[in-house]
Amino acid sequence: MNKYKNITVFLIKFFGTYFLLFAMYAAYLNSSQVKVNGFKSSSLTTQVANQTVSFLNAFGYHVTSVQHDKEMSVKLLVGNTYTARVIEGCNSMSIIILFIAFIVAFSGPVKATVVYVLAGSLIIYIINILRIAFLTMMLYKYPNQQMILHNLVFPAIIYGTTFLLWVIWVQKFSHYKR
């Protein structure tokens, strides 16, 4: 039994953290999204869309966001062209929850864990805004490449960033570092 203690502790910490954070996030979504008499995306999803718009506008593009009237998403329009949409899964919270659960499961000193969770979550959030902005402009310029851009290139950016942050954590800060 002692031989499997580290694996058992890891799994309990990972799944305990993941399900706790996921339950909190689900409660937030239930209280912030509206599906009656129209749609209203969560404030986090709307914020991500608006920050993407602000980023692109700062670079001289004319981009606007508007709540989609037929689904739970925020449309991104380049000029007057509906180019992309931000749905709940695009706001980075699900990947941040997964990131935090892994960091807690491979815990290190408390202060380092808290600082790394906050810094890593912020990095993931910012990379996600940049990813959506880049995807929006690539879809505007190359609409025929939607499948490869949306399904391969851009998930690789967010998941690659998260994986890199995990590797850095395990090698430099966790109690399991070599």
Measured distance between the N- and C-terminal CA atoms of the chain, rounded to whole angstroms: 24
Q: Provide the whole-model pTM.
A: 0.91
Contact 41, 89 (CB under 8 A): no
What is the domain partition of the chain in residue ranges?
2-172
Tell me the one-letter amino acid at 100: I
Q: Which residues contact 99 (CB under 8 A, 6 or more apart)?
A: 117, 120, 121, 124, 162, 165, 166
Q: What is the pLDDT of residue 177?
A: 59
DSSP run (H or E) holding 90: none
DSSP run (H or E) holding 74: strand 73-78
Tally the C-alpha atoms within 13 A of residue 159's C-alpha that lie toward its C-beta: 6
Q: What is the pLDDT of residue 66?
A: 95
DSSP 53-79: HHHHHHTT--EEEEE-SSSSEEEEEET
The Cα 161–Cα 157 span in angstroms is 6
**Strand partners for 34:** 40
- Per-10-residue mean pLDDT for the chain, 178 residues long? 81 96 95 80 94 96 93 93 92 96 92 96 97 94 84 88 95 75
Q: What are phi and psi of 101, to 5 degrees?
A: -60, -40
Burial class (CB in 10 A: 0-12, 13-18, 19+), 65: buried
Q: What is the pLDDT of residue 76?
A: 96
Q: What is the pLDDT of residue 34?
A: 75
Q: What is the pLDDT of residue 150?
A: 81
